[in-house]
């Protein structure tokens, strides 16, 4: 028995040993083959790297640079640090670069037919610099697609792009960029599917493109895309976009460079965040998560606290140097919108856009529609700065009547970007704002405008700005509260050293266009104005502020001209002053100028002046003539001598009342007045009163 | 004898026809009778005469505004505010330069306050304020006087911040501005 066992055991072990030996030999051969092939591939790629670069450079008309090409068994080719640059290579920045490109080829095809047919291509951290090279896509996309097609040789191909970035704007070391990670499957039966995520971020250049160094400007948007290639383009079966508060669904077709899509979109929680009650994902939720490309019909979820953009219908045409929007129509809160326009890169990048609401209405019906809006935008990029014009036409109720209004904004040398805290930063070298109501218009020109816009807050949209204006400086803010309820806005404006005639004349003309202000700034006031204005519309529209004019003069002001003639004091025709100030408040009930104060060597004038909403005036003013002015007037000297007064400073206090168009005037009591009254006979008093009544009438009429 | 009577009759007829006083004399008579009735303390009879005068004369008549004002006074006196308002409104529109205008406006103000206690008739107030632009250099106020067809003495005192209207030295209306 033992001998038999030993014989079977030895035959077993010999069989086992030969099997192991065979396996070992096979493995050795495979490993040897792999080592040899790796070694050979390494030599091949090292020798031919230059040739490959040259071939690609010739095809793409750009300098192609590849740090290294290596083969990773069994079927991967890895290209490290691939970049494209201009042939002249003047700029240090490259239009395209990728940390790694991995090509997976079909091993059976290679072994049997000795052909490299790619089945998967991975781009790792590709970067396209659209800020330096805005025409990169236009010039190269067809060739790059051609290379991919050649590599795939018409077979199904999987394309994956990880952490791609399209640099849109660069300022110093801060970069604003579109980031995307996506997968494309170019499958059998001409089917293309893609999923991915797109976001808008900013980051510091030296931090490269690592996830944790990015600031998300907008929430990342996921997309699902499914289409079928046709002879003339593709049929888009499903295009779905979604983020935390946004969802959109489209379908359509792309045919001979014309794309037509239809769909709808919802924006949730745009006013405030709803508290979401979290619950554990159930069985159905988990199934939904597993299915990447859903075909399950879903009900349209109308957003309660947001916006529903319904009936989206878009027709766009793609030409070689132009994208044309023939028609983009949609409806928001029962307001129909229509957009037409084009984006051109023919000689330079330009955009022309027209937006209309209620475009189907015409004539008087549209003119009287308060919700109608016509917006026209035309702009082009010149030397990396934007130049253009924005026109807004709309109807509004002004002074109780429907009026056609137009705002026109002309901007030159404009550039924009994002700050690290996700605000939009805009610089405009020259900005002209024209406001037109019916046939009246006013223009304001601002220079070196800096603006910071915070648009991400759900309730308050805020703009902070500063600019050069009327030879002075303006800064301020404007805030719009869009939370549910009446629309509320407010703003502050701080002015420094503005030329008063340049500023006040168009400013008050603009105010007069919108309201029945009974007064304006006299054309005879000159100087540099500083001040602060606060405006708001809640609880009621109104302005309050303080104003100060320094080192200016009053030239031929009617009241002082009369004083100059009456008292023979020609110095009063031009009154130089160091300081003219006042606090004011303007609202629907009252227009008030309080603490009015004119401080000049020739005279001092102070008091208050109110006009209520019925044009009724109430005012008290105090006018002081200093001694050194009175000594120049023979009339005054005689008068004072007759009254037995020594020539010294003389004060006159007045009270005004009545309507603004027919102001009543009273000289208030003083010692000087009492003595003068005793001196003058009655008939002369009446005569003086009659004369002054006529003078006041003529002054008010002139003003 | 018969012929004599016929001659006398024709003479009287002739005198009556050719020396009839005409309508102008009626206006003056009516007016004078109205004033006389008012002086005798008979405002009702005075109103009758003025009312007749208004019916048969025109706006251009020199008695018309006085009669119209008097009619308004009478209506106010008897509490017929609607007719008083019509009379004074017509007066203020047709005779904007009349001496009695501020007093007609004062009546309208009073009637308006009686009827609409919570509303301030602002247009009326502005008309009263704008009656005369004031320049009070040495005076505290300007005074305006008027004697109406019903014999009442009206006085308006315009101060810088108010206007006071008196009827027979009694304060009737005071407006602040």
ipTM (interface pTM)? 0.79
Strand partners, A280: none
Contact of B70 with B149, CB cutoff 8 Å: yes
A662/B138 Cβ within 8 A: no
- Per-residue pLDDT, A645: 65
Whether chain A has a CB inside 8 Å of the CB on B98: the answer is no
Which tokens go with A10?
Answer: 């030895």
Separation of first and last alpha carbons in chain A: 139
pLDDT at A97 over 90: no
Q: Determine the distance in angstroms separating the CA of A360 from the nearest CA of chain B, rounded to an integer.
A: 45
The pLDDT of A665-679, averaged and rounded, is 84
Nearest CA in chain B to A695: B135
SS3 annotation, A510-562: HHHHHCCCCCCCCCCEEEEEEEEEEEECCCCCEEEEEEEEEEEEEECCHHHHH
Q: Is the pTM of this model over 0.80?
A: no
Dist. CA A485–CA A539, nearest whole Å: 12
pLDDT digit string, tens, across residues A368-406: 888 889 999 999 988 878 899 999 998 877 777 778 889
Which tokens go with B170?
Answer: 């009694």
Q: Determine the distance in angstroms separating the CA of A677 from the nearest CA of chain B, rounded to an integer.
A: 7
Whether chain B has a CB inside 8 Å of the CB on A685: the answer is yes
Which residues of chain B does A618 touch, with a Cβ-Cβ cutoff of 8 Å? 161, 177
Dist. CA B46–CA B54, nearest whole Å: 12
Q: For residues B54 and A86, which has the higher predicted lDDT (pLDDT)?
A: B54
CA atoms within 13 A on the CB side of A208: 8
Q: Which of A574, A572, A521, A569 is nearest to A547 (CA)?
A: A521
Which residues of chain B does A655 touch, with a Cβ-Cβ cutoff of 8 Å? 160-161
Whether chain B has a CB inside 8 Å of the CB on A701: the answer is no
pLDDT class for B8, splitting at 50, 70, 90?
confident
pLDDT digit string, tens, across residues A340-373: 999 887 778 899 999 999 998 888 888 888 888 9
Dist. CA A122–CA B134, nearest whole Å: 92
B160/A666 Cβ within 8 A: yes
B86: region left, alpha or beta (phi > 0 left; psi from -120 to 50 alpha): alpha
The pLDDT of B136-162, averaged and rounded, is 93
Nearest CA in chain A to B127: A659
Percent of chain A with pLDDT over 70: 86
Q: Determine the distance in angstroms separating the CA of A396 from the nearest CA of chain B, rounded to an integer.
A: 28
B129/A659 Cβ within 8 A: yes
Contact of B150 with B87, CB cutoff 8 Å: no
Q: Give the three-state DSSP class for A75.
A: coil
Q: What is the mean pLDDT of chain A?
A: 81
Q: Determine the distance in angstroms separating the CA of A667 from the nearest CA of chain B, rounded to an integer.
A: 5
- Per-residue pLDDT, A639: 74
pLDDT class for B143, splitting at 50, 70, 90?
very high
- Per-residue pLDDT, B22: 47
pLDDT digit string, tens, across residues A557-591: 777 777 787 777 888 888 888 888 999 888 777 77
Q: For residues A384 and A327, which has the higher predicted lDDT (pLDDT)?
A: A327
- Per-residue pLDDT, A8: 59
Which tokens go with B176?
Answer: 């602040």
Whether chain A has a CB inside 8 Å of the CB on B136: the answer is yes
A548 alpha-carbon distance from chain centroid? 33
- Kindly report the CA angle at B172 between B169 and B177, in degrees rounded to 5? 115
Residue partners of A172: CB distance under 8 A and separation at least 6: none
The pLDDT of B103-114, averaged and rounded, is 93
Nearest CA in chain B to A660: B130
CA atoms within 13 A on the CB side of A573: 5
pLDDT digit string, tens, across residues A237-272: 989 998 888 889 999 998 888 889 999 998 876 554
Which tokens go with A15?
Answer: 């069989």
Contact of B72 with B91, CB cutoff 8 Å: yes
Of A614, A659, A666, the CB nearest to B136: A666
* Best residue in B133, B141, B175 for a mutation probing chain A (most A CBs within 10 Å): B133
pLDDT at A142 over 50: yes
**Strand pairing category for A258-267 and A174-186:** unpaired
Residue partners of A109: CB distance under 8 A and separation at least 6: A115, A116, A117
* Best residue in A589, A621, A666 for a mutation probing chain B (most B CBs within 10 Å): A666
Contact of A136 with A48, CB cutoff 8 Å: no
pLDDT at A294 over 50: no
SS3 breakdown of chain B: % helix, strand, coil, rounded to 5?
55, 15, 30
- Per-residue pLDDT, A292: 44
Contact of A154 with A127, CB cutoff 8 Å: no
Which residues of chain B does A665 touch, with a Cβ-Cβ cutoff of 8 Å? 134-136
């Amino acid at each position: 028995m033992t001998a038999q066992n030993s014989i079977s055991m030895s035959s077993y072990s010999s069989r086992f040993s030969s099997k192991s030996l065979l396996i070992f030999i096979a493995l050795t051969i495979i490993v040897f083959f792999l080592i040899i092939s790796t070694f050979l591939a390494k030599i091949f790629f090292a020798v031919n790297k230059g040739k490959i670069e040259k071939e690609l450079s010739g095809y793409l008309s750009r300098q192609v640079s590849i740090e290294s090409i290596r083969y990773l068994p069994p079927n991967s080719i890895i290209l490290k640090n691939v970049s494209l640059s201009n042939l002249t290579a003047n700029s240090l920045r490259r239009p395209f670069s990728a940390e790694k490109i991995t090509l997976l080829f079909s091993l059976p095809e290679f072994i049997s037919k000795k052909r490299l047919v790619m089945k998967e291509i991975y781009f790792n951290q590709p970067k396209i610099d659209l800020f330096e090279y805005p025409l990169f896509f236009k010039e190269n996309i067809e060739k790059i697609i051609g290379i991919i097609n050649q590599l795939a040789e018409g077979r199904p191909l999987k394309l994956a792009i990880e952490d791609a970035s399209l640099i849109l704007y660069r300022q110093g070391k801060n970069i604003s960029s579109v980031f995307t990670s996506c997968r494309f499957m170019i499958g059998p039966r001409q089917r293309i599917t893609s999923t991915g995520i797109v976001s808008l971020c900013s980051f510091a250049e030296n931090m490269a493109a690592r996830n944790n160094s990015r600031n998300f400007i907008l929430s990342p948007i996921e997309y699902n895309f499914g289409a079928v290639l046709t002879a003339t383009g593709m049929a888009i079966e499903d295009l779905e976009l979604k983020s935390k508060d946004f969802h959109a669904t489209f379908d359509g077709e792309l045919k001979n460079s014309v794309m037509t899509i239809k769909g709808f979109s919802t924006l949730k929680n745009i006013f405030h965040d709803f508290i979401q009650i979290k619950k554990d994902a159930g069985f159905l939720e988990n199934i939904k998560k597993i299915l990447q490309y859903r075909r399950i019909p879903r009900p349209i979820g109308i957003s309660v606290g947001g916006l529903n953009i319904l009936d989206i219908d878009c027709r766009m045409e793609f030409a070689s140097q132009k994208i044309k929007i023939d028609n983009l129509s949609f409806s928001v809160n029962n307001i129909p919108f229509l957009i037409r326009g084009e984006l051109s890169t023919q000689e330079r990048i330009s955009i022309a856009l027209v937006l209309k609401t209620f475009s189907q209405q015409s004539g008087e019906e549209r003119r009287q529609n308060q919700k109608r809006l016509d917006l026209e935008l035309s702009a082009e990029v010149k030397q990396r700065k934007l130049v253009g014009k924005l026109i807004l036409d709309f109807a509004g109720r002004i002074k109780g009547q429907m009026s056609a209004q137009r705002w026109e904004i002309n901007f030159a040398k404009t550039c924009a970007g994002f700050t690290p805290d996700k605000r939009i930063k805009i610089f405009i070298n020259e900005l002209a704002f024209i406001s037109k109501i019916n046939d009246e218009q006013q223009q304001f020109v601002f220079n070196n405008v800096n603006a910071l816009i915070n648009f991400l807050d759900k309730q308050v949209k805020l703009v902070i700005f500063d600019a050069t204006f009327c030879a002075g400086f303006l800064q301020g803010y404007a805030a719009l509260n869009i939370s549910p309820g009446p629309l509320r806005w407010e703003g502050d404006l701080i002015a420094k050293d503005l030329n008063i005639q340049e500023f006040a004349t168009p400013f008050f003309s603009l105010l007069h266009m919108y309201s029945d202000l009974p007064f304006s700034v006299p054309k005879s006031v000159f100087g540099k104005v500083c001040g602060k204005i606060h405006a708001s519309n809640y609880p009621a529209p109104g302005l309050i502020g303080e104003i100060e004019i320094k080192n200016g003069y009053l030239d031929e002001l009617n009241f002082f001209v009369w004083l100059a003639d009456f008292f023979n004091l020609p110095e009063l025709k031009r009154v130089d002053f160091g300081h003219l100030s006042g606090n004011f408040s303007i609202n629907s009930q009252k227009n008030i100028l309080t603490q009015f104060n004119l401080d000049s060597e020739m005279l001092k004038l102070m008091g208050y002046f109110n006009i209520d909403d019925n044009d009724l005036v109430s005012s008290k003013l105090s006018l002081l003539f200093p001694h050194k002015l009175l000594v120049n007037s023979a009339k005054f000297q005689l008068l004072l001598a007759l009254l037995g007064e020594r020539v010294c400073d003389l004060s006159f206090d007045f009270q005004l009342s009545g309507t603004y168009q027919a102001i009543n005037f009273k000289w208030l009591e003083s010692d000087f007045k009492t003595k003068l009254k005793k001196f003058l006979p009655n008939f002369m008093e009446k005569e003086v009163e009659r004369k002054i009544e006529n003078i006041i009438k003529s002054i008010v009429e002139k003003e | 004898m018969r012929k004599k009577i016929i001659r006398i009759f024709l003479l009287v007829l002739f005198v009556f026809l050719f020396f009839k006083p005409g309508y102008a004399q009626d206006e003056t008579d009516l007016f004078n009778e109205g004033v006389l009735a008012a002086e005798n303390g008979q405002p009702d009879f005075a109103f009758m005469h003025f009312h007749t005068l208004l019916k048969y004369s025109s706006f251009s008549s020199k008695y018309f505004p006085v009669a119209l004002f008097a009619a308004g006074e009478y209506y106010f006196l008897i509490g017929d505010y609607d007719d008083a308002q019509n009379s004074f409104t017509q007066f203020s529109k047709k005779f904007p330069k009349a001496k009695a205008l501020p007093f007609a406006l004062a009546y309208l103000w009073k009637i308006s306050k009686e009827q609409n206690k919570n509303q301030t008739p602002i247009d009326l107030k502005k008309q009263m304020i704008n009656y005369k632009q004031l320049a009070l250099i040495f005076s505290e106020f300007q005074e305006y006087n008027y004697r109406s067809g019903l014999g009442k003495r009206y006085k308006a005192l315009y101060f810088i911040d108010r206007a006071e209207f008196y009827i027979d030295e009694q304060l009737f209306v005071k407006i602040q501005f």
